[in-house]
């Protein structure tokens, strides 16, 4: 499996890839720019190309993550345009670094008509992807149900993709903590088997291109998005053994977004996940 973690690019794109190697990771995630802003970034093309070459040589996968303010369901015209420009910028950086794509949360809409929220998401995706011909894709991430129930079902994600005029540029990123928090991944016995079967039936797995592997600080179904180190949270090691059987058959990046131990790094956790994974 292609196991890794989220890493900083403060020393550049290439150095982030090299750090992943030091951690014995074969995948990693990064913010392509300031994670708290929708600003457009000018990047160093030579650094990005060197990163792409390094990852290809070492058979390493990377994914970018859009900034926190990104909301596909946004309705305000000014914010909508800022979101579109930001995501196009993210895609361009991801393409230059040879990344699989850019993870973007499904979107939250607080208006009275939920249908309008879905329309906003489809329109935003249309504006971002119109004219895009790169290999990097937008990877829509399932949500935890914190503040909004939108994006918590596989049906929603599959339908949004199918309704897009540019679906060939859209994939999925599955977050384990989010799925557990919203009840998509039931804590009952057989919960993973049920989710696995449903995802296969809907065709969700066919377009899964990345995984966020996170334990949950809270019990399942509470709608609380609080990540925990693998095996220390409510999901627990046994449930992760079950889901890793599914992901081990997919040649995709599986990335930790878990807390970093004080004074340490993700190296021990990456090794632990490898131990949980089927050989």
Answer yes or no: are the C-beta atoms of 94 and 137 closer than 8 Å. no
Q: How many CB atoms lie within 10 A of CB 98?
A: 21
| Residue 269 confidence (pLDDT) | 98
Q: Residue 110: which pLDDT band, with cuts at 50, 70 and 90?
A: confident
- Sign of the C-alpha dihedral, residues 9, 277, 209, 120? negative
| Residue 278 confidence (pLDDT) | 87
- Looking at the chain, the whole-number percentage of residues with pLDDT higher than 90 is 96
Strands of the chain, DSSP E: 2-6, 27-30, 61-65, 101-105, 137-141, 170-175, 208-213, 215-216, 227-228, 253-256
Q: Residue 270: which pLDDT band, with cuts at 50, 70 and 90?
A: very high
Q: Does domain 2-276 have CATH number 3.40.640.10?
A: no
| Residue 236 confidence (pLDDT) | 97
Give 147's DSSP letter.
Answer: S
């Amino acid at each position: 499996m292609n196991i890794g973690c989220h890493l900083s690019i403060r020393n550049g794109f290439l150095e982030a890839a090299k750090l992943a190697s030091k951690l014995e990771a074969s995948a990693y995630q990064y913010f392509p720019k300031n994670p708290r802003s929708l600003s457009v970034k000018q990047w160093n093309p030579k650094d990005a190309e060197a990163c792409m070459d390094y990852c290809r040589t070492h058979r390493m996968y990377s994914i970018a993550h859009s900034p926190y303010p990104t909301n596909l369901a946004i309705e305000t015209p000014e914010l909508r345009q800022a979101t579109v420009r930001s995501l196009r910028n993210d895609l361009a950086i991801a393409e230059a670094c040879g990344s699989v794509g850019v993870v973007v949360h499904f979107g939250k809409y607080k208006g009275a008509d939920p249908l309008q929220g879905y329309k906003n998401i489809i329109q935003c995706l249309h504006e971002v992807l119109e004219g895009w011909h790169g290999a990097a894709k937008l990877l829509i991430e399932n949500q935890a149900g914190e503040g909004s129930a939108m994006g918590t079902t596989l049906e929603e994600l599959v339908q949004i993709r199918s309704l897009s005029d540019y679906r060939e540029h859209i994939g999925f990123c599955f977050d384990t903590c989010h799925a557990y928090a919203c009840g998509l991944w039931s804590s009952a016995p057989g919960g993973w088997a049920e989710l696995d079967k449903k995802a296969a039936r809907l065709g969700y797995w066919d377009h899964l291109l990345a995984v966020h592997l996170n334990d949950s600080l809270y019990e399942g179904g509470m709608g609380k998005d609080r990540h925990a180190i693998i095996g220390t949270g409510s999901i627990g090691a046994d449930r992760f053994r079950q889901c890793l059987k599914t992901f081990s058959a997919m040649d995709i990046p599986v990335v930790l977004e878990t807390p970093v131990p004080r004074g340490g790094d993700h190296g021990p956790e990456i090794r632990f996940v490898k131990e949980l994974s089927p050989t």
